[in-house]
Amino acid sequence: MSETTQHKSTSDAAFRSAVARWINDNGEVLAVIRFAGGAGSRSFEFFTSNDAFIKRTNELPPSASVTVLAELQLPIRGRVDDDFIPHACASIRDGDEWLIVTIDRIRIGAASWFHDYAGESISELSDELRDEYCYGKTVAVGPYPAWLEDSQTVLTAFTPNPDGTVTVGAY
């Protein structure tokens, strides 16, 4: 882990301005949040307001990576039932990588999270939609987002340390 000034902070005005513009233009953004030292732990979260996005980034621990996608992602939306499953499966080509994300947090006791699952086969998609964390829940499904490299429509920033510096961790 090394400190560097080349990595943007989630409190950077240009980063926040771009995210606010994307939410205003498209109605929502998808953020991929990765936790430093979290052994690959990540969360896919939708934001429909800039205030909610800023609140969430302010809650994150230092060094969390926040990648925001400007273009609408996971366009197949709805409550999972026996009618939704064949519609979702018909919208994905077998062999293409896909992602499911619950729109509402799953809550069990004190724990809460947005359930996500990725795969490549239609049978796996059907099985996952029938899973207890998806069936009866509102989900977003679609091609797996291309979020690994920044571009005109993908930006990554990191939550700053208390002193404002940015430390990039192992994700």
Determine the Cα–Cα distance for residues 42 and 114; give it in Å rounded to an integer: 10
- Cβ atoms of 67 and 145 within 8 Å: the answer is no
Measured in residues, the chain has a length of 171
Q: Mark the ranges of the chain whose per-residue pLDDT is less than 70.
A: 1-5
Task: Give the per-residue pLDDT at 61.
Answer: 95
Alpha helices in the chain (DSSP H): 13-26, 50-59, 84-90, 122-129
Task: Give the per-residue pLDDT at 2.
Answer: 45
Task: Give the per-residue pLDDT at 98.
Answer: 98
- Residue written as token pair 């301005």: 17
